Chain A
Amino acid sequence: MDINVKVKSNLGVRAFYLFFIISSLQLGVGIMGAPRIIFMEARQDSWISIIIATIYIIIVIFVMYLILKQYENADIFGIQVDIFGTWLGKMLGTVYIIYFAATLLSVLITYTEVVKIFIFPELSPFVMGLLLILLITYSVLGGLRIIIGISFLFFLLTHWLLFLLIEPALEIDITHFQPAFQASFTELLKGAKATNYTFIGFEILFFVYPFIENKEKVKLPVFLAVFWTGLLVLITTVIAIGFYSPDQLERREWSVLNLFKVQSFSFIERLDYVVVAEWMMVITPNMILLMWGVTYGMKRLYKVPQKTTLYIVSFFLLVGCTFIDQHFQIQKVINGVAQFGFWIAYVYPFLLLPLILLKKRRRKRRGDENSA
């Protein structure tokens, strides 16, 4: 297996699009329920938790960037094989793939549940799963350029939803944030950790990095993406905490979606229906990127044609989303993914970096000895 990836010249992507790749993978089903989960830990100081989490992620991204910079044009699969040897490296690579697939499944079943709760209680999860998987398959078949196009276009087409938050934002009750700075440091950290299901997704940088044309410009869009996601989560959380009283917020599972309920226009009411449907556009790029990660990883590690992986994983997803349809099962999957993601995305890069630097130094020394 080659450590560095040879990218066909027509597949290069401008670094600018990293912004859309990362923020559309981060924004997904997580944000729908995020305010409540964060609020349960950090109460009225949740906003501090979110800021902490965002800063932490920016540091993680910087570490990831340092890791990637040590190589000419490598992705995580190549790096792991280089560091840990073929056998262990491939195993770790497989862990990434499983993690991506599990995240994909969690997104799929969560959205299906939301649709069932908000729009069609009698909808069969199989049908919903089939619809989404059709979309995923059709787009992933188009290749990386199309996938990035979708995340870009759908990103633009979903952000108008922010305007619908103006109405609830006007009804914020400031007293809900007072007295400020009450949460202890551990509570704040717990709150920050509670954001992780919402924020995971920036790991995709490890996958797409080789495809970036102008690598010198990678940092800015990535940081901006993380900042933007952090800002959005912050905005929604602040609105949700201000809009709902603490007791209400604790009981509202999808608090962000509920915010849209109060908005109405002269020709349409109950924007929550529209928003839930529109959310399909939010999660589609999300799922497509994850699916691409899975197929790409399988190709890198085991040389399985991407189409084969695509069809097989689609099939298993369909089966999975048909049978996991109870609320607590879904919560279990989400929690599992969140835990998994915490170690893979938030902690692992810090372990990897020293190893790589060590190896590099040793290699350099050996190189010096050889030349001497």
Chain B
Amino acid sequence: MLNRILINLIIISFILFTGCVQSKELETLGILNTRGVDLSKENNGQIETTLLIYQFDAQNKNISKLLSGTGNTLKDAREDANNKTTFLLTPGQIRLELYGKEIAQKGILRYLAALARDSRASDTMLLAISDTTAKDVLMKGQSQTEINVGQFLHGVIDTEYNEDSLLRIDLQTFSHMFADIGHDPILPIISLENDLPKLSAMAVFQDDKYVDKISLDDGFLLNLFQNRVSSAPVELTIPREPFKKYEQYKEISKNKEEELHIRVLLKGKSKTKMTNVQEQHFKTDIDLDIEIQEFSQLLNIENGHVADLLKKEIAKEIEQQYDTLLNKLQEINADPFGFGNIYRSNKKDGKLTKKEWREKFPEIKVDFNVKVRLLNYGTTQ
């Protein structure tokens, strides 16, 4: 008796269920993979999006397609683009969002907020800035590279992240950095070289506005400052002079350079402390373990003295790099190091406004202190 009621209930509910949730079959969707966001040239205030989508069509072997649409909001622009295709465009698989230079300079917060609000969008999507416009990079890139340029770019950036060369920044980390007081975000910059997209530099933000760029090496320094780096390939340049007497094959060398380039595999971590909260003095200790891979000039590292010299020079070099980077950032008045965050957490009441930190940041003093350990030199000495 009871079972029958239950069974009937189940059957009735099945009948009710059909037609209650809209199905989105994979093959009817245009799945957004990469989105470029630019300011529209024709309509002031509107945005133009360039969409790289996957569409699964039996007649067409090529599954990636480029679309564009304009509108006042991201959704609006997407719907505009949707009018040009039979597939329903959906944002659930966006892996890379590329912002044009101009729009990034005006601030990208509202677009990020829209992404965070949408539960469909992934928190792990990567963000990047285009050197020109996002449209340019995607259009030209797509015609040059044989594969889906979005996937290509994602791969290019992801590789750098995976080998610890750069700070991994996805939607979540960017919003995190932005929302933390006293911490400005950075993003990778994609530029075109012979119409081929390439990761060229790092963009420094003041809040959500793109203000200046720093080199990729500087990007690595930022990563080392914030994360534990497990094995990053780095090239260091140190003066050649102190090592002259240890060089091998001196007589056949035609190298006249004043510098010595070393390729190393770097492992390290850093720790920052405040030495003086009142005057904003910081001290950063950086411990590095280095494996040497390649020299521009062969050296004879047969005794500890050379190794010590090498360590000293490398430490000096890195400290110098940090100092230069900090000076530059203080000039721009953007703090991707996150010193403000450290300052706030050391302050008594723990309160700090963004404005306050902008005033204080150019004045801060940081003592970078690098310690190097040479682990090994490969299979030869």
Q: Does B68 contact A (CB under 8 A)?
A: no
**Residues B179 and A248 in contact, CB atoms below 8 Å apart:** yes
Alpha-carbon gap, A243 to B17, bound state (A)? 38
Asked if residues A117 and B349 are in contact (CB atoms below 8 Å), the reply is: no
| Residue from B22, B179, B345, B349 in contact with A122 in the complex, judged by beta carbons closer than 8 Å | B22
A251 — nearest CB in chain B belongs to which residue? B116
Known A123-B21, A245-B176, A245-B179; contact A117-B119, beta-carbon cutoff 8 A: yes
Kindly identify, within residues 84 to 142 of chain A, every residue whose CB is under 8 Å from any CB belonging to chain B.
117-118, 120, 122-124, 126-127, 130-131, 134, 137-138, 141
List residues of chain A with CB within 8 A of the CB of B179.
Answer: 244-248
Let me know if B122 is at the binding interface, CB within 8 A: yes
In the complex the two chains form, is B122's CB within 8 Å of A179's CB? no
Q: Which of A236-281 contact B (CB under 8 A)?
A: 243-248, 258, 261-262, 264, 269-270, 272
By the criterion CB–CB under 8 Å, are B13 and A134 in contact? yes
Whether B350 contacts A179 by the Cβ 8 Å rule is yes
Q: B16 in the interface, Cβ–Cβ < 8 Å?
A: yes
- Which residues from chain A contact B122 at a C-beta distance below 8 Å? 261, 269-270
Which residue of chain A is the closest to B9 with respect to CB atoms? A134
In the bound assembly, the distance between CA atoms of A178 and B350 in angstroms comes to 7
Interface size class of B (residues with CB under 8 A): 20 to 34
Beyond A117-B119, A134-B9, A134-B10, is A122–B21 a contact (Cβ under 8 Å)? Answer: yes
Which residues in A have their C-beta under 8 angstroms from that of B170? 262
Contacting residue for B123 out of A123, A127, A137, A258, CB 8 A: A258
A10 within 8 A of B: no
B20 with A175: CB separation less than 8 A: no
Chain B residues with CB under 8 A of A248: 175-176, 179
CB distance from B175 to the nearest CB of A (A): 6
A272 to B338, CA, bound (A): 30
Q: Is the CB of A261 within 8 A of B346?
A: no
A196 sits at the interface (CB 8 A): no
Select one of A131, A179, A243 contacting B345, CB under 8 A: A179
B172 touching A262, Cβ below 8 Å: yes
Q: Does B329 sit within 8 A of A, measured CB to CB?
A: no
A175 in contact with B349 (CB, 8 Å): no
Residues of B within 8 A of A (CB): 2, 6, 9-10, 13, 16-17, 20-22, 92, 119, 122-124, 170, 172-173, 175-177, 179-180, 338, 341-342, 344-350
Q: Which are the 6 A-B pairs with shortest beta-carbon distances?
A: A178-B345, A245-B179, A247-B179, A261-B123, A175-B345, A245-B180
A-B contact pairs, 8 of them (CB 8 A): A44-B350, A120-B21, A122-B21, A127-B17, A130-B13, A173-B180, A178-B345, A182-B350
